[in-house]
């Protein structure tokens, strides 16, 4: 379990448009928390242009919440969970997504993510047995 599992947990869940973006951080951290581990950075952030790279909305509770920390349709965000074994090694996978409308059975307005980073993940380094079939499809950028 690690960053790839965390990425797929966020990507495989829809969320209502009135949810604070920091709540998605919990999904990303679940695999590591279950192993008694954590990372000291946010799980994602908004992507700026002509300003700064890290902008609101933050996906992570470790930073002071800026006004407007809600994800809205059309926003560009990164999802970048990681893990660092201090003094030994670390891994961080960062991908970029667009916040998009999702069709849900209730007909209510829900959001999800559309991949903008189309760089393939080296899947032969992933223990696919540790993931669900849906998580494997997500990592292969088959978000169906």
What are the tens digits of pLDDT across the range 98-124? Answer: 999 988 888 888 998 888 877 767 777
Parallel, antiparallel, or unpaired: how do β-strands 110-115 and 95-102 relate? antiparallel
Residue 4 pLDDT > 60: no
134: pLDDT confidence band, cut at 50, 70 and 90? confident
Separation of alpha carbons 77 and 56, rounded Å: 9
Domain extent, residue 107, equals 3-139
Residue 27 pLDDT > 60: yes
122 belongs to a structural domain: yes
Separation of alpha carbons 91 and 26, rounded Å: 19
Other C-beta atoms lying within 10 Å of the C-beta of residue 144: 5
Q: Hunting for tokens 């800026």 — which residue is that?
A: 66
Q: pTM here?
A: 0.75
120 belongs to a structural domain: yes
106 belongs to a structural domain: yes
Exposed, middle or buried by CB within 10 Å (0-12, 13-18, 19+), for 31? buried
Separation of alpha carbons 103 and 44, rounded Å: 24
89 belongs to a structural domain: yes
8 belongs to a structural domain: yes
Dihedral angle at the C-alpha atoms of 61, 62, 63, 66, nearest 10 degrees? 10
CATH number at residue 69: 3.90.230.10
52 belongs to a structural domain: yes
144 belongs to a structural domain: no
Question: Could you give the number of structural domains in the chain?
Answer: 1
């Amino acid at each position: 379990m690690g960053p790839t599992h965390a990425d797929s947990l966020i990507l495989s869940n829809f969320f209502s448009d009135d949810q604070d973006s920091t709540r998605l951080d919990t999904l990303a951290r679940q695999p590591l928390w279950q192993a008694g581990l954590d990372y000291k950075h946010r799980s994602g952030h908004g992507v700026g242009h002509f300003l700064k790279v890290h902008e609101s909305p933050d996906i992570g509770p470790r930073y002071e919440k800026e006004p407007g920390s809600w994800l809205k349709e059309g926003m560009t965000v990164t999802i970048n969970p990681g893990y660092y074994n201090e003094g030994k090694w670390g891994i961080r996978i960062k991908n970029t997504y667009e916040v998009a409308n999702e069709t849900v059975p209730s007909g209510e307005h829900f959001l999800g993510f559309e991949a903008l980073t189309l760089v393939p993940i080296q899947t032969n380094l992933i223990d696919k047995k540790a993931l669900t079939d849906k998580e494997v499809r997500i990592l292969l950028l088959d978000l169906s």
